[in-house]
Amino acid sequence: MPKILNIIIIIYNIKLEESASFKASFERINELSITIVDNTTIEEIRLHNKNAAEKYGVSYLTKSKNIGLSKGYNLAIDSIKKNSPETKWIITLDQDTLLNKAYFQEVQEKINNTDEISLYYPTAASDIGIISPVLINKYYIKNIHEFTYENHNLVFINSGLLMNIMLFERIKYDESLFLDMIDYDLVCQLIKNKLINKISNMKCTIKQDFSGANFSAFECDYSRFKLYVSDFKTFSKKWKVSTCYTFYILLKRAVKLMVHYKSLKFLFEIGRIHQ
């Protein structure tokens, strides 16, 4: 029987077997296909992952560098369209999403339904509580005139989404966004293309290792913050988010990091928003 579900997992600088998303998905390899996008920057690990993917019988894609999430997902979707015409549904995951039995059971129910829903989202929890779905702020969507706010006012994280692959005839991950805001941008695209009525929630809850929940090390968090500033700036310009509101969001994060590390570098970074 053709496998109509393909799970896309983006990994970065870890061995394939260390990915929680891969381990949970591979347990069901008889029911689905898996496509790995390897953003690893360490050649040794990439070579290991390529060999591991061949060993496990899963598709492996890499550009031998970190191309980010948007380009990674688009690369996988284009490959699936070209090489796996039997695929009707995809799931997008990062490397550390914890998936449970209830999630996969509900996925099977959804892909066998004959309704008109094109995108399903689970509830996602982390150590800080529920992180998805959340209310989308009016400042993100005030310039999308097709938006009907009273019924559809949620945004959901990208990892764990179950989507009909035909959806990507109308929308596409924005490759100008490297890592952050791709989920918000996806929702805005759904609204703009009048597809918001084709989404629905799932009953299950998955666990997400939320990268913004904890501190790491100064250089790591500073580099991560610079990426966040760049992506937020790009998103805000595209969707005409208020400059004041954009500055407010970035300032909140910068102050938290500044206090923790006792460094003004984070505040200086948000000044680049006007450049």
Domains observed in the chain: 5-208 (3.90.550.10), 218-274 (no CATH)
**Backbone Cα Rg of the chain:** 19
For 189, residues 6+ apart whose C-beta sits below 8 A from its C-beta are 171, 172, 174, 195
Q: What is the pTM of this model?
A: 0.93
Residue 188 buriedness (CB in 10 A; 0-12 / 13-18 / 19+): buried
Statement: residue 212 has pLDDT above 60: no
Q: How many residues does the chain have?
A: 275
187 three-class SS: helix
pLDDT for 1 = 65
The pLDDT tens digits of the residues spanning 71-85 come to 999 999 999 999 999
pLDDT for 149 = 45
Residue 188 near residue 144, CB atoms below 8 Å: yes
Alpha-carbon torsion (94, 95, 96, 100), positive or negative:
positive
Residue 207 buriedness (CB in 10 A; 0-12 / 13-18 / 19+): middle
Minimum mean pLDDT among 12-21, 36-45, 106-115: which range? 106-115
